[in-house]
A and B are shown apart, each in its own frame.
Chain A
Amino acid sequence: MNLTVVKNATCTFCGCVCDDIELHANSERIVEAKAACILGKSWFLNHTAERAYPSALIDGREAELDDAIAVAAEYLDKAHLPLVYGLSNVTCEAQREAVSLAERLGGVVDSHTSL
């Protein structure tokens, strides 16, 4: 089977964000992460493209994505002071959306920095 090779890939495991990693992947998992350190290797090799988890859970039961999004929106909209927290292991694009959502919600947005 052919491997996809991604050059100059970036590792977001630690704050160094090394961008010189070469990834070799089949359709399901990364089989090699050249130049990555020991932490980076385990980060890259431990994730797969398989469906290891249900799309969504509502109250612990498997649920459809659309339903989970609708329930989430309902809870957040109803709250007086919702909190949007985390933002570490996500992309900047997701972070921008999260700040924008917090503003819409009239809530609090916060990251690991405050710890």
Chain B
Amino acid sequence: MLRITGGRVYDPANGVDGQIRDVCIADGRIAAAVGDGARTLDASGMVIFPGGVDVHTHVAGGAINFARAMTPEDHRRTVAFIRTQTQRSGLGGMAPTTFATGYLYAGMGWTTLNEAAVPILSAKHTHEELRDVPIVDKSCCVLMANNEIVLDLLENGELERAKQVVAWQIWASKAYGVKAVNPGGVAAWKWGKDAKQLSETVEGYRKLTPGTIITGLAQIIDELGLPHPLHLHCNNLGAPGNYTTTLESMKSLEGHRAHLAHLQYHAYGGDDWNTMRSETEAIADYFNAHSNLTADAGAVLFGNTVTITADGPWQHLLYKLTGRKWGNLDVENETGCGIVPYTYRPSNIVNAVQWASGLELLLMIKDPWRVSLSTDHPNGACFWRYPEILQLLMSADFRRDCMAKMSEEAKRRIRLPELDREYSLFEIAIITSAGPARALGLSNKGHLGIGADADIAVYNQDQDISRMFSHPRYVIKHGEIVIEEGEIRATPLGRSYVIKPQYESTIEEYLRPLFEDCYTMQFENYPVELERVEHAELRNCIPAE
């Protein structure tokens, strides 16, 4: 039992905006009151947030694990976590080890994360890794938009059967949601092609287009009633002029819920790299008017990172542009995953536009509930740099200081200089916690109402926003103090959220031969056993009538 007194509480879901009040914790949850015997933390001069929730990150799975092996030089540069009696060792950096991932997230007050891209064959592997990510709670999205079985069904208009297949695959992979990456494009990349336009037929199909895949999947997910809507990484990522593709994608989603991942990468105008500019205003305008959509920013920060994505075509382009090392992972799998170490530089106009676009979206999307903080870790920047973005959002002056280093040409391509909006702490609590929790459909997360999970971050009130959010005074996970005065106090195992959508068992007989043919493994050997998922917690679907 624990009582936190004297702190300013920011709990947007319950309309609490910086009022000083006690937060009580019993049995891992927020309670109305606790007895006198409870330990009391004096949080005077501090602010209290619900623990951060990351709706889109890549921290476990074949791709990030490949990136780890590709960046030994980066591991050497970072501060190392030393083993203790209770804590495993780890290395941070661009692709942190699993243990370090848990320490680093908790170390800045984040307590829940969503691994956004799990190739179906990697599901078992991903869960094995997630078991070794301590402290935080986890969920993951399984990739479906280039799944050959699903695509064949969509091609033939067999939506009902596709729904059954999707439901089976979600449960078999012990996923929480469905991710669509470059729908049809990754399938085409297996032929060295891409799918850039929504209405273009996907290479290898007669009539299937990215548009049909998006609408089909969004409809399936709504019908299954998944708590998290279709998690969409739009086609044509990162390419100049791609904002039209993004607008088309958003239009094709009318009438359905959807979450648009790393929207920044999909908001570019221009015809080529020389004329590339920000088109965030067009994106934000449409987005503001359509409440069926949520998004995460996919913001970019200047500096080193390693880019990994299931979007093979984009990765190969990046490799050609940069000439740096490149790894392309490919199994019997619908992911042509690429990995390229990359440095974003303010002197580079393209990078400057990317940097500005992420911030512009966060500032121009009016409803903070519908846009979450993300960097598409590690693609735009590493997650442990989130505090720097919060500082940029909260201070227009700081943004101007940063822009001073950029060329005039770069400034002509962006809208950021005109934007004066500054985030309040209340709004920060929305985009870092309350909003993403709501987008994920995790009703016990992202707020401090009675009965919510006691996942709490307590920060010093500090003028230096970046410092403030980098060094929480206390982080509480499920009622347990895990970080205190910058030290890791405990490393409990987190929980994993899993969905079991309904499907007819007859679908297994349909799937078996297709599955065995596609994936060269036995159907029975595929499903991830529930007991292999650390502290699995089943969440309900509410199927549409």
Contacts and interface: CB of A to CB of B under 8 A. Distances in A.
A20 B522 contact: yes
B525 interface: yes
Given A92-B128, A103-B83, A104-B83, A8 B524 contact: yes
A27 B457 CA distance: 57
Contact of B88 (A7, A92, A103): A103
Contacts of A104: 83
A18 to B, nearest CB: 9
Interface string A36-57: 0000000000000000000000
A19 interface: yes
Interface string A4-33: 000110100000000110000000000000
Interface in B487-529: 521-522, 524-525
A88 interface: no
Main secondary structure of the interface of A (DSSP, over half): mixed
A44 to B, nearest CB: 16
Nearest to B99: A103
Interface residues of A, number: 9
Contacts of B522: 8, 19-20
Interface in B139-164: none
Contacts of B83: 103-104
Given A100-B88, A103-B83, A19 B525 contact: yes
Contacts of A7: 524
B128 A103 contact: no
Contact of A103 (B89, B521, B524, B525): B89
Contacts of B524: 7-8
Interface string B77-100: 000000100001100000000000
B473 to A, nearest CB: 30
B525 A8 contact: yes
Chain B, interface size category, equals under 10
B525 to A, nearest CB: 5
A20 B512 CA distance: 13
B121 to A, nearest CB: 12
A103 B81 CA distance: 12
A8 B525 CA distance: 7
A104 B86 CA distance: 11
Contact of B521 (A19, A92, A100): A19
Interface in B357-385: none
Nearest to B524: A8
A8 B524 CA distance: 7
A7 B88 CA distance: 38
Nearest to A100: B88
A6 to B, nearest CB: 11
B525 A10 contact: yes
Nearest to B85: A104
Interface in A71-115: 92, 100, 103-104
Interface of B: 83, 88-89, 128, 521-522, 524-525
Given A8-B524, A10-B525, A19-B525, 9 more contacts: A7-B524, A8-B522, A8-B525, A19-B521, A19-B522, A20-B522, A92-B128, A100-B88, A103-B83
8 contacts: A8-B522, A8-B524, A19-B521, A19-B522, A19-B525, A20-B522, A100-B88, A103-B89
Nearest 7 A/B pairs, CB to CB:
A8-B522, A8-B524, A19-B525, A19-B522, A8-B525, A20-B522, A103-B83
